[in-house]
Structure 1
Amino acid sequence: MVLVLVSTTMFTPLCFVILCALLMLTGLRWQRSSLLTLALALPAFILVFGISFSLWADQRHTAHTPVVFEIGSFALTSGALDIGFTTALRLAALFGLALTGGLSSTGPDLVRSSIQHLKLPYRIGYTALAAYRFVPRFGYELESIRQAHRVRGMSPGRGPIASTRRSMGYVVPLLTGAIRHAGRVSLAMDARAFGAHDTRTERHLVPMRRRDWFFMIGFWIFTAAVLAIAIWRG
């Protein structure tokens, strides 16, 4: 990701966009509708953001480049397009790298793997995992609060004012439930002597398989090759 962020040409982010697309197409199981959405959304994302960033580019830095499109006093130059689409490809590459990791693994497995193989302190890892599991619970509690308010006829009406009033009514019970749940989780962790020892045993093991090593080494080789070519291209 650092290489994508510091790149100044389209070549580096474009390589990672293509790599992420190939990894997601070959390494993940897709439904036809999801695959079609990805195939349409990615080019549309790059096109829309590329043109948008091109329009926002500082014309003082691109005035010496050839004009591609001109209307009235506004001129869109090739330099502005280069800046815009380079930025759009950076965003697409970052999004693709994050999406590849997010779709190919789960939060619990990622935490367990980091603890077992990257030697992440389990106090940090499992605390983050406990916080991660708060999110779906918040969604469930929010839906329960909405249904309870709806049954009691609280904050009726339509429009932005009524919607804001209803949303404000969800804050206190949702916060109360979050504090109550956090207290229960804390007591459960204390009862199991969480953090009392430097290490702990794992019930669910996430093995480092041969294909995982191949993928990791291949990814680093690809990154080094892209960096070398980018430096050679100047």
Structure 2
Amino acid sequence: MSVAVDTVAPARAGRFLSALNPLAKLAAVIPATVLLVFVRDLTTPLVFLVLAYAVLLAGARWTPQLAGILVLAVPLGIAIIGCGFSLWADASRVDTTPVVLQIGEWKLFAGALSIGFATALRLGAIITLALLSGLTTTGADLVRAMVQQLRVPYRIGYTALAAFRFVPRFAHELDLIRQAHRVRGAHGGRGPFAAAARALGYVVPLLAGAIRHAERVALAMDARAFGAYDDRTERYDVPFRTRDTLFVLAFWVASAAIFLSLFPWGIA
């Protein structure tokens, strides 16, 4: 039998990343993600950023969300973080480098820019590598893979999935509550006090709906004998295939080649 929270079919639409096992996508990027924490140069994270972009563009379905993240969010975030860390860098440690900008007595050194953007690129590369799994994996598939391959107890996995799926339901119920308030003319006026009053008016019905939904889920799980047996059958399998192993090995080889080629000046 399957519990109520496990009735969504696995996501297979899109390109090759969507068809890979979620654990394969995680295992592929973990070594590079851990090692990127320790690099201090500009080149290494930039190369990994390009690699992650290439894999996403080739293996993920192009959507407005993906376009917004890759074209706007990541570059803008790197620029903002890079400038911010450049301003916070200790000038006494980089005062031997050329001056890029001077305003009165204050000076911005090239070394500070290098430190700031090295940090920003490192964060950008780590986040983009995480997107390989985050943008092409559903929570249901990840839980199934953890239960089937990592032998995580299904009581833990599916309970966490049930809690995770409360979030979109709460968003839907909140939208319904807001519409009901507008229909009744209870939207109030403007200003911070009116906004706080509206928020308080949403809390009680939202909590009531959450309690009702939790009770229904608990009753449904009890009716299906959730937790009564050590193992449960799966309606959908998320197998670890040969292509998953090849993807992990290929990414590890590429990551090792990047680090080894840049090792003399890429690792602090």
TM-score by length of 2: 0.79
Q: Is the helix fraction higher in 1 or 2?
A: 1
| 1:27 positional shift | 0.5
The code of the aligned residue for 2:183 comes to V
Instruction: Please say if 1:55 is aligned against 2:87.
Output: yes
Q: Which residue of 2 aligns with 1:90?
A: 122
1:51-200 equivalences under 5 Å are 51-200=83-232
| 1:4 positional shift | 2.1
- Runs of at least 4 residues off by over 4 Å: 31-34
The structure-2 alpha-carbon separation of the partners of 1:51 and 1:172, relative to structure 1 and needing over 3 Å to count, comes to same
SS at match of 1:7: coil
Q: Which residue of 1 aligns with 2:256?
A: 224
After superposition, the C-alpha distances for 1:183-204 in whole angstroms (9 at most, x for unaligned) are 2212222222222222221111
| CA distance in structure 2 between the aligned counterparts of 1:39 and 1:150, rounded to whole angstroms | 37
| CA distance in structure 2 between the aligned counterparts of 1:31 and 1:182, rounded to whole angstroms | 33
| CA distance in structure 2 between the aligned counterparts of 1:52 and 1:106, rounded to whole angstroms | 34
| 1:40 positional shift | 4.4
Identity of aligned residues (%): 55
The structure-2 alpha-carbon separation of the partners of 1:121 and 1:9, relative to structure 1 and needing over 3 Å to count, comes to farther
- The runs of 5 or more residues in structure 1 that have no matched partner are none
SS at match of 1:212: helix
* The one of 31, 35, 39 aligned to 2:67: 35
The structure-2 alpha-carbon separation of the partners of 1:127 and 1:6, relative to structure 1 and needing over 3 Å to count, comes to farther
Q: How many residues align?
A: 234
- 8 Å contact 2:52–2:132 — kept in the other structure? yes
| CA distance in structure 2 between the aligned counterparts of 1:157 and 1:69, rounded to whole angstroms | 48
After superposition, the C-alpha distances for 1:10-43 in whole angstroms (9 at most, x for unaligned) are 2332222111100111001214795377334433
> 4-13 or 30-39, which moves further after superposition?
30-39
| 1:141 positional shift | 0.5
| CA distance in structure 2 between the aligned counterparts of 1:100 and 1:29, rounded to whole angstroms | 11
Q: Which residue of 1 aligns with 2:236?
A: 204
- 8 Å contact 2:53–2:70 — kept in the other structure? no
The structure-2 alpha-carbon separation of the partners of 1:31 and 1:173, relative to structure 1 and needing over 3 Å to count, comes to closer
TM-score by length of 1: 0.89
The code of the aligned residue for 2:186 comes to M
